[in-house]
Structure formats: C-alpha cells, structure tokens
C-alpha cells in the first residue's frame, strides 16, 4: 500500500460546480448555471494534519467504489463507527475494509465484493489489530 500526504496548506483553488445534473455530457458553461465554486481540497479534506492518501490495490472494496489505482482519503482524526470504511492494520498488514462486529460484539472487517473471492477478517484474541483511520472519500483519474 502506498501512503501519500497532501500538501500542507495547499493553495486555494476552485473550479465551477454547475447546478445542472447530467447523466453524461458536459454542463452548459454559462455563468448563470454555476451553483458555486468548489475547492477540491476543502471537499476532500476535513483535517489537513490528520489526512493522508493511500493507493487502492485489488478488488475487495469494488462494490463501495474503490478500484485499483484509486486514491483513498484517510482521516486519522475521525472515530470509526460500525459501517465505516476503515484503514486497519491486522497482524502487520494494512487493509481497507468495512468495519462490522461479530455476534459477540468483537470487531470484524468485511470486504465489499460479493464474488466470494474475498473473505471477512475475524479479529480474534492475540491478533494485532488497530484502526489507522476512516476512509472519508476517494478519487481517480481516467486519463
């Protein structure tokens, strides 16, 4: 897993966010359709000092929209809740999974891919387990 830090105090840049919703295509560039201006840093990052990016590898979280090569935005300042996508360390290995709990109330990490290729990770006594942060978003480039 590749870890990357955002630039501290990134330059404020914003781009038009058009109010029209489109299924496919490009919104009209007419000024009256601009809802507001969007700074991608403000949209993706809540806490600059606690945020970093990791590059997704594999397809275990594909049904949550995380695909190989995507950059996941991880915030260490957030408290993880059941149902959150988290970056965890299990026995020295990093993984991104959905946080769940067992019937007994212990932690369990679930893949978001129903192919059957990826199994839940049951956290048992004696295993090293730590949640490093909550995945708050992601981004990808197509070209």
> Any idea which residues carry the catalytic annotation?
60, 97
Residue 11 confidence class, pLDDT cut points 50, 70, 90: low
The pLDDT tens digits of the residues spanning 46-71 come to: 998 899 999 999 999 999 999 999 99
- Would you state the pLDDT for residue 90? 96
- Cα gap 99→65, rounded to integer Å: 16
> What does each C-alpha distance from 10 to 37, 39, 41, 102 come to in angstroms?
16, 10, 8, 41
User: In this structure, is residue 124 part of a structural domain?
Assistant: yes
Instruction: State the DSSP code for 81.
Output: -
- Would you state the pLDDT for residue 37? 76
Give the domain extent around 103. 29-139
Is the pLDDT assigned to residue 141 strictly greater than 80? yes
The pLDDT tens digits of the residues spanning 80-139 come to: 999 999 999 999 999 999 999 999 999 999 999 999 999 999 999 999 999 999 999 999
User: In this structure, is residue 70 part of a structural domain?
Assistant: yes
100 neighbors 82 (Cβ within 8 angstroms): yes
132 neighbors 89 (Cβ within 8 angstroms): yes
User: In this structure, is residue 17 part of a structural domain?
Assistant: no
- Would you state the pLDDT for residue 138? 96
User: In this structure, is residue 20 part of a structural domain?
Assistant: no
User: In this structure, is residue 1 part of a structural domain?
Assistant: no
Buried/exposed code over 85-112 (b: 16+ C-beta within 10 A; e: otherwise): bbbbebeeeebbbbbeeeeeeebbbbbb
User: In this structure, is residue 76 part of a structural domain?
Assistant: yes
Instruction: State the DSSP code for 116.
Output: S
125 neighbors 106 (Cβ within 8 angstroms): no
- Would you state the pLDDT for residue 69? 93
9: left (phi over 0), alpha (psi -120 to 50) or beta: left
User: In this structure, is residue 113 part of a structural domain?
Assistant: yes
User: In this structure, is residue 23 part of a structural domain?
Assistant: no
- The CATH number of the domain holding residue 68 is 2.10.109.10
Number of domains the chain contains: 1
Is the pLDDT assigned to residue 25 strictly greater than 80? no
- Would you state the pLDDT for residue 10? 58
Residue 9 confidence class, pLDDT cut points 50, 70, 90: low
Whole-model pTM: value is 0.79
- Would you state the pLDDT for residue 39? 82
């Amino acid at each position: 897993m590749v870890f990357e830090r955002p630039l501290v105090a990134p330059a404020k840049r914003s781009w038009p966010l058009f109010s029209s919703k489109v299924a496919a295509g490009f919104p009209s560039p007419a000024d009256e359709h601009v809802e507001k201006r969007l700074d991608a840093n403000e949209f993706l990052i809540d806490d600059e000092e606690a945020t970093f990016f990791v590059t997704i590898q594999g397809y275990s979280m594909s049904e949550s929209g995380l695909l190989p090569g995507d950059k996941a935005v991880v915030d260490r300042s957030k408290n993880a809740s059941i149902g959150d996508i988290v970056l965890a360390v299990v026995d020295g290995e990093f993984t991104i999974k959905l946080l769940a709990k067992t019937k007994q109330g212990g932690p369990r990490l679930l893949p978001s891919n129903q192919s059957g290729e990826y199994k839940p990770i049951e956290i048992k006594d004696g295993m090293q387990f730590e949640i490093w942060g909550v995945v708050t978003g992601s981004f990808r480039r197509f070209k």
